[in-house]
Amino acid sequence: MKELEIKIDDLKHNLNSIKRHAKGTKIIAVVKANGMGFDLIKYSRFLIDNGIENLAVATTDEAEKLRLAGIDVKILMLSEVFSDEELEILIENDIILTIGSIEEKEKIEKLAVKLKKQVNAHIKIDTGFGRYGFIYTNENEILEAIKDSENIKITGVYTHFSKPIDFKWTNKQFQRFMVLMQKIKPINSNLIFHCSNSTAFILYPEMNLDAVRLRLLYSEEEF
């Protein structure tokens, strides 16, 4: 059986390089897929011990495991969740949910009322990925969705670049997002905006906005 040897000093070196490149931009560390293969709990604790205050996951199981391990930082759920049972687990564990439709927001609102919980959530906008989120052209829906409701507080808005290595296409997605951002801010000014993943973070620093979603696996030579 093959083993992966991780040198903590090298990992710290990479993380410090990323922080310098971020220049104060909030880092949301993506720890899905068992901490990107590093071990979900151990990797998350390493990140927190080294100043990372925001994590992101892709499954309810990942989010629940982090909470059961005593990890109490902000955790963003990146995926759409269809099951009421899973949504209740996420809400009970104070996970930041992603909302990609009005119907989804209404469903979460009902569950939050039932559980007597206040839910924090980010709005996902589809600017060209074609997978999940409010379609960027549906401005009225988006502007309605970013308003807080009785039991949901919207704390962020984001999109996902479908092919970040392609500057022309990525810039088109970015400009679509920026147009919406300027319309959203007057309605809800207490939001963070993010769109860059690891590749875009390195290639297009001008797109980093308030936060970036990173896997944190790069070395200094790649900057």
DSSP character at residue 64: H
> Is pLDDT above 90 for 182?
yes
Residue 154 pLDDT exceeds 60: yes
Q: What is the CATH number of the domain that holds 116?
A: 3.20.20.10
For the segment 166-177, the average pLDDT, to the nearest whole number, is 98
Cβ-based neighbours of 149, under 8 Å, separated by 6 or more:
105, 109
The answer to whether position 218 is within a domain reads no
Q: At 36, is the pLDDT very low, low, confident or very high (cuts 50, 70, 90)? A: confident
pLDDT of residue 3: 66
Q: Is the pLDDT of residue 122 over 70?
A: yes
Give the mean pLDDT of 165-190: 96
Residue 219 has pLDDT above 70, yes or no: no
pLDDT at position 46 over 50: yes
Is the residue at 83 inside a domain? yes
Q: Which of 15-24, 30-39, 120-129 bottoms out in mean pLDDT, i.e. has the lowest?
A: 30-39
Nearest to 105 by CA among 86, 89, 119, 90: 119
The DSSP secondary-structure symbol of 145 reads H
Residue 219 lies in a domain: no
Report the candidate in 174, 184, 158, 15 with the shortest Cα–Cα distance to residue 78.
158
The pLDDT assigned to 2 comes to 65
Residues 56 and 79: beta-carbon distance below 8 Å: no
Q: Is residue 222 part of a domain?
A: no
The pLDDT confidence band at residue 1, using thresholds 50, 70 and 90, is low
Dihedral, CA of residue 192, residue 201, residue 203 and residue 174, to nearest 10:
-30
| pLDDT of amino acid 222 | 45
Which residue range(s) make up the domain with 69? 8-213
| Tally of CB atoms within 10 A around 222 | 12
The mean of the pLDDT values for the chain is 93
- Using the predicted structure, report yes or no on whether residue 38 has a pLDDT greater than 90: no
**pLDDT for the residue numbered 33:** 87
pLDDT over 50 (residue 221)? no
Reply yes or no on whether the pLDDT at 210 is more than 60. yes
Closest CA to 74 of 121, 12, 22: 121
pLDDT for the residue 4: 63
Residue 46 burial (CB count, 10 A): 20
155 lies in some domain: yes
Domain count, the chain: 1
pLDDT value of residue 131: 81
Question: Average of pLDDT values for 52-68?
Answer: 97
Q: Indicate whether 43 belongs to any domain.
A: yes
> For residue range 81-103, what is the model confidence (pLDDT) as tens digits?
999 999 999 999 999 999 999 99
- DSSP 3-state of 116: coil
